[in-house]
Amino acid sequence: MITYIKDLVSGSWALLKGMRITMINFWRPKVTEQYPENRETKLQNMCERFRGELVMPHNEKNEHKCTGCGICQMNCPNHTIKVITRQETTEEGKTKKVLDKYMYDLGSCTFCGLCTQVCPQKAISWLPNFEHAVFTRSKLEKQLNRPGSKMAEKKVVAPAAPKKEGGEGEPKVQ
Ligand code: SF4
Ligand code: SF4
C-alpha cells in the first residue's frame, strides 16, 4: 500500500514537472519559421561563406575563366568533378587545350571547398542555394560551363609597380 502511494505521488510530481515546462513554452513568443514562404529572406540572409552549390560564373559575353587545367579535379577527394578538355587550333595555327565540359556531381560533393581554394583562376565559386531535393540522382549531375561558352581572353595589364627604381616593368598577363 505504501509503495502504491509513493509511486502515485512521484508519478504525479513528474507529471507536474512536465506540465510546467509545457506551460512555459506555451506562453513564449513563437519562433516557427514560415518555410518555404520565407525562402527569399532565407537566401538573402545566408551567411557569406555558406557553400550551397558549386558554380562557374560567366560574364555577359558567355565567357568563363576556366583553363581546363584539372587542378580542382585532382584535389577533389570524392571524384565529384570531371574536367573534359579538347584541343583547338588557334588563328596562329597552334593547338591549345580548352575546356569542353566541366561536370559536377552535387550528389557526391562534401562541400569541403578544396576545389575553389586550389583553382588558380578563381573560375569556380559557391552559391548559397540550399534546396537540392530531387527524385532522380542524375539530376544532381550538372555541367557548369554553359553551352557555347568559352574562356575569357587574357588581358595584358601594366604591373602595379616597376621592378627597378626609375625603370619600367614588364607587362603582366593575368
Ligand atoms: S567541395 Fe570538395 S567534394 Fe565538392 S567538388 Fe569541391 S573538392 Fe570536391
Ligand atoms: S576550375 Fe580552376 S582548377 Fe578547375 S580546371 Fe578550371 S581553371 Fe583549373
Rounded to an integer, what distance in angstroms lies between the CA atom of residue 91 and that of residue 105? 35
The count of structural domains within the chain is: 2
Spatial separation of the C-alpha atoms in residues 108 and 110, rounded to whole Å: 6
Residue 142 within a domain: yes
* Ligand 2 pocket at CB < 6 A: 66-72, 83, 119, 121, 123-124
Query: What pTM did the predictor assign?
Result: 0.73
Residue nearest to atom 7 of ligand 2 (CA): 66
Q: Is residue 67 a contact partner of residue 121, using CB atoms and an 8 Å limit? A: yes
What's the CA gap between 57 and 127, in Å, rounded?
10
Query: pLDDT tens digits, the chain, 174 residues: what are they?
Result: 889 999 999 999 999 999 999 999 999 988 787 888 888 888 888 888 999 999 999 999 999 999 999 999 999 999 999 999 999 998 888 999 999 999 999 999 999 999 999 999 999 999 998 899 999 999 999 999 999 999 998 754 445 544 444 444 433 434
Instruction: For residues 12 and 94, state if they share a domain.
Output: no
**Which residue range is the domain that position 74 belongs to?**
50-152
- Give the closest residue (by CA) to ligand 2 atom 8: 69
User: Is residue 107 located within the same domain as residue 67?
Assistant: yes
Which residue has the least CA distance to atom 2 on ligand 2?
A: 119
DSSP state of 3: H
Q: Are residues 75 and 17 in the same domain?
A: no
Element spanning 39, H or E: helix 39-44
pLDDT for the residue 2: 87
